[in-house]
């Protein structure tokens, strides 16, 4: 006994094969497109990284260009001192160079902040020493290295000496 497919069954099988072939072609096309998009994204990521590195280099160049006049001034001041032996002119030149530095730092949003005589604040100060002093306990009594802010945020804390108070930190006073 042989089983014969019912009429139209061959057409159904062919329709299924055609549909399967269409889906396989669609999958191949989607895979191709996915690979294409992955390559595009990878190229985009690499381009962004190159641009970011280029911007960082440009910013470094700008910073260096800002400080080159200061370097030139230091060289001239030393040459003048060596040539003329004029210590007074040298000191005046150094004051001018310091002024150049202040201007550059100010343009970059940097400013020193006062520490001496202020209460110790670990957000602004780094205590490198403590010692007995007439000043109230936890008061900054010496500034060893100036602290700096940039746009209102601590760029570098001040290195300070902090008072232990008149009794040297004894708990009874």
Q: What is the pLDDT of residue 152?
A: 93
Domain boundaries, the chain: 1-108, 109-173
Q: Look up the CATH architecture of domain 109-173.
A: Roll (2.30)
Residue 7 above 90 pLDDT?
no
Question: How many residues are listed for the chain in this entry?
Answer: 173
The predicted structure's pLDDT at residue 173: 46
Return the CATH class of domain 1-108.
alpha beta
CB 120 within 8 A of CB 143: no
Q: What is the pLDDT of residues 63-93, one digit of tens each?
A: 999 999 999 999 988 888 888 888 888 888 8
Cβ-based neighbours of 80, under 8 Å, separated by 6 or more? 86, 89, 90, 93
Question: CA triplet 157, 161, 163: central angle to 5 degrees?
Answer: 125
Q: What is the pLDDT of residues 108-134, one digit of tens each?
A: 999 999 999 999 999 999 999 999 999
Give the model's pLDDT for residue 4. 59
Please give the Cα distance from 41 to 51 (Å, whole number).
15
Over 80: is that where the pLDDT of 28 sits?
yes
171 compared with 16, residue with greater pLDDT: 16
Tell me what the pLDDT averaged over the chain comes to. 91
Q: Which two tokens stand for residue 39?
A: 């390559």
pLDDT, residue 23, reads 96
Q: How many C-beta atoms surround the C-beta of residue 160 within 10 A?
A: 26
Q: What percent of the chain has pLDDT over 70?
A: 92
- Quick one: pLDDT at residue 166? 84
């Amino acid at each position: 006994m042989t089983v014969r497919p019912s009429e139209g069954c061959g057409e159904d099988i062919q329709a299924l094969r055609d549909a399967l072939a269409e889906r396989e072609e669609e999958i191949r096309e989607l895979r191709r497109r996915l690979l294409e998009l992955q390559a595009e994204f990878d190229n985009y990521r690499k381009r962004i990284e190159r641009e970011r590195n280029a911007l960082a280099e440009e910013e470094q160049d700008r910073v260096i260009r800002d400080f080159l006049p200061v370097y030139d001034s230091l060289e001239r001041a030393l040459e003048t001192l060596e040539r003329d032996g004029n210590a007074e002119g040298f000191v005046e030149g150094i004051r001018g160079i310091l002024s150049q530095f202040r201007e550059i730092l100010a343009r970059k949003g940097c400013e020193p902040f006062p520490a001496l005589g202020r209460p110790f604040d670990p957000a602004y100060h780094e205590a490198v020493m403590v010692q007995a002093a007439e000043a109230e306990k936890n008061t900054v009594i010496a500034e060893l290295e100036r602290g700096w802010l940039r746009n209102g945020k601590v760029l570098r804390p001040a290195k300070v000496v902090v008072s232990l108070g008149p009794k040297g930190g004894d708990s009874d006073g």
